[in-house]
C-alpha cells in the first residue's frame, strides 16, 4: 500500500515483527528491491537490497554494531549512512524507514514515475 505526500511515497511493508531482531529482510516495491534491518535494540534501517560489489542480498548478511556485513565478501556497511566501513566499496543507497503507531513498517521513498 502506498501514499504520496510532499514528493515522497510512503509504503506500508507490514508488521515490523516480520524482520527478526538482529536480522534483515528483503522487500519488493514494484521494481525496487530494498533491505530492511532491525538491530537487536529494535532500531530500523533500510538500504538497497544488493551489495554494489558482488550483488549479494544484504539482508542475508550479519547485522551488528550498526553495520551489515555482506555475505559474499565480508565488506561492512554502516546502516545509518550506507557508507562502506574499512573498504573502498561504493556507498549503499539508504531509505528512511520507521515503525507506525500500529507496529507496521513504513518506508519513505521519492515518488516514482509510473
Asked if residue 102 belongs to a domain, the reply is: yes
Q: What is the pLDDT along the chain (114 residues), one digit of tens a residue?
A: 545 455 568 899 999 999 999 999 999 998 999 999 999 999 999 999 999 988 999 999 999 999 999 999 999 999 999 999 999 999 999 999 999 999 999 999 765 544
Residue 83 CA to residue 37 CA, distance in Å, equals: 15
Residue 82 φ/ψ region, left for φ over 0, alpha for ψ in the -120 to 50 degree band, beta for the rest? left
Q: Provide the domain count of the chain.
A: 1
Q: Which domain holds residue 92?
A: 2-108
Asked if residue 58 belongs to a domain, the reply is: yes
DSSP assignment string, 46-83:
EEESB-TTT--BGGGSEEETTEEE-TTT--EEETTT--
Residue 47 CA to residue 23 CA, distance in Å, equals: 13
Length of the chain in terms of residues written: 114
pLDDT at 6: 53
Residue 20 CA to residue 36 CA, distance in Å, equals: 10
pLDDT at 83: 97
- Whichever domain contains 100, its CATH number is 2.102.10.10
- pTM summary value: 0.88
Phi, psi of 17 (to 5 degrees): -65, -15
Amino acid at each position: 500500500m502506498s501514499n504520496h505526500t510532499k514528493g515522497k511515497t510512503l509504503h506500508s511493508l507490514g508488521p515490523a515483527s516480520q524482520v527478526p531482531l538482529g536480522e534483515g529482510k528483503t522487500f519488493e516495491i514494484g521494481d525496487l528491491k530494498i533491505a530492511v534491518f532491525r538491530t537487536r535494540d529494535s532500531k530500523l534501517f533500510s538500504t538497497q537490497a544488493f551489495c554494489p560489489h558482488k550483488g549479494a542480498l544484504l539482508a542475508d548478511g550479519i547485522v551488528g554494531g550498526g553495520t551489515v556485513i555482506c555475505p559474499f565478501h565480508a565488506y561492512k556497511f554502516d546502516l545509518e549512512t550506507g557508507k562502506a566501513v574499512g573498504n573502498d566499496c561504493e556507498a549503499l543507497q539508504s531509505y528512511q524507514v520507521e515503525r507506525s503507531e500500529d507496529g507496521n513498517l513504513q518506508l519513505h521513498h521519492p515518488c516514482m514515475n509510473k
